[in-house]
Amino acid sequence: MTVFHSYKTSLNVLSEVSVLYKVVEFKRNKISGSYWKVAIAAAALLASASVRADYASHPAAPAFIDKLVAEHKFNADEVRAALAGAEKKQSILDAIARPAEKTKPWFEYRKIFLGADRVAQGVEFWNTHQATLARASKEMGVEEEVVVAIIGVETRYGRYMGSYRVLDALATLGFDYSPRAKFFSSELENFFLLAREQKQNIGDLKGSYAGAMGYGQFIPSSYRAYAVDFDGNGVSDIWNDPVDAIGSVANYFKRHGWKKGEPVFSRALIAKDYDQSVLNARVRPHLTLQEAAAMGFTPAEGRFNRDEKVVPLEYEGELGKEFWLGFSNFYTITRYNRSQMYALAVWQLSQEIRYAYEQQAAAATTSD
């Protein structure tokens, strides 16, 4: 079975627009002058937008097609047909220009991902997939609550996995989003490969505006590299199979250096003359706790080896500035999503889910 739709060519689209013009012409005598002008404008806009949606005619398309043919043995006509059916989505370009972590302070960003409903749904997900989560934790060395929190932040435990066609998202960003066109063009290439490997219809797969898919919202390159067949049925399906999704998220963390039982964050106490220049550095934790203390940052909780490496962080909380120390496991979460606020949200959600899960278990034991 081919993985590609038999997409309409631009000629087909123009033919549809011609039909629209005829319908408008037929209704002409029943439409007032102002509405008639609106109808004609809408038809013209549809024609223009439909032609622009043909990514097979984009200036960058020939090189992309040639690469898939030369390096991966794709059929040029099939790739061209798929690109011809991909649609440019302005809503995608708008969304990627204003991600929440760049437009909201921490106290507002936090509210998006933490709350009673998401915690309760996390406990429900944990109870439903208790055996799978326990096995993933044992085999991959990642705490159950961390895996649950990732899936909770990404898709509310599979409830919202994205409504954009991944083909549209990656074509739009790969061809028409110049700041990261190289990255998204590479993801589009990986998406073609993924669809072929998984025997999926490339036009049917849905995901986020950035082309992320499934329970854990893997981009195509991550899907190909880290998704696992955790239920042993021969397919690594994170679109529909929560067992594979759990195993895949845990495997991603394992492969990126997560250390089970080791610290993630600690609140920080600051000295009056703390060094602001080291705050929120987008680097792997590089200061020992001893060095961080000399710069005015010390853990407010827990006992740690002074040689543990950290990054000092500052966020705007509801009651003013919050200071944190991010450890190596914090950095691993940022390999999943580069936002440092995302990492803090995942960790805090994981702790709330763990607490609620244990409280529920204790209450059940008491009632028995």
- pLDDT tens digit string along 139-178? 999 999 999 999 999 999 999 999 999 999 999 999 999 9
CA distance 349 to 259: 18
Supply the pLDDT for residue 44.
37
Amino acid sitting at position 268: A
Amino acid sitting at position 349: L
The predicted model gives 22-28 an average pLDDT of: 38
Which position among 144, 145, 154, 308 bears the catalytic label?
Answer: 154
Strands 265-270, 320-326: pairing is antiparallel
Enumerate the H helices of the chain as residue ranges: 10-27, 33-52, 61-72, 76-85, 90-96, 100-103, 106-113, 116-128, 130-140, 144-155, 166-176, 181-197, 220-226, 242-255, 289-294, 328-336, 340-367
pLDDT at 26 exceeding the cut of 50: no
Supply the pLDDT for residue 346.
98
Question: What phi and psi, each to the nearest 5 degrees, are found at residue 266?
Answer: -145, 140
Task: State what percent of residues in the chain have pLDDT above 70.
Answer: 84
Among 368, 1, 24, which residue's Cα sits nearest to residue 195? 1
Supply the pLDDT for residue 361.
87
Least confident span in 43-57, 244-258, 350-364:
43-57
Edge-to-edge strand list for the sheet holding 265-270: 287-288, 309-317, 320-326, 265-270, 297-299
The predicted model gives 186-203 an average pLDDT of: 96
Other CB atoms within 10 A of residue 315 CB: 18
HSE-CB for 47 with a 13 A CA cutoff:
14
Least confident span in 97-101, 116-120, 253-257, 300-304:
97-101
Q: Please give the mean pLDDT across all residues of the chain.
A: 86
Supply the pLDDT for residue 60.
95
Determine whether 108 is an active site residue.
Answer: no
Q: How confident is the model at residue 283 (pLDDT cuts 50, 70, 90)?
A: confident
Supply the pLDDT for residue 302.
77
Decide: 140 and 185 in contact? Cβ < 8 Å. no
The torsion of the CA quartet 158, 155, 231, 257, rounded to 10 degrees, works out to -170
Supply the pLDDT for residue 169.
97
> Whole-model pTM?
0.84
The predicted model gives 31-59 an average pLDDT of: 50
pLDDT at 133 exceeding the cut of 90: yes
Residue-wise pLDDT for 196-236, tens only, equals 999 999 999 999 999 999 999 999 999 999 999 999 999 99
Q: How confident is the model at residue 3 (pLDDT cuts 50, 70, 90)?
A: very low
pLDDT at 17 exceeding the cut of 50: no
Enumerate the H helices of 86-198 as residue ranges: 90-96, 100-103, 106-113, 116-128, 130-140, 144-155, 166-176, 181-197
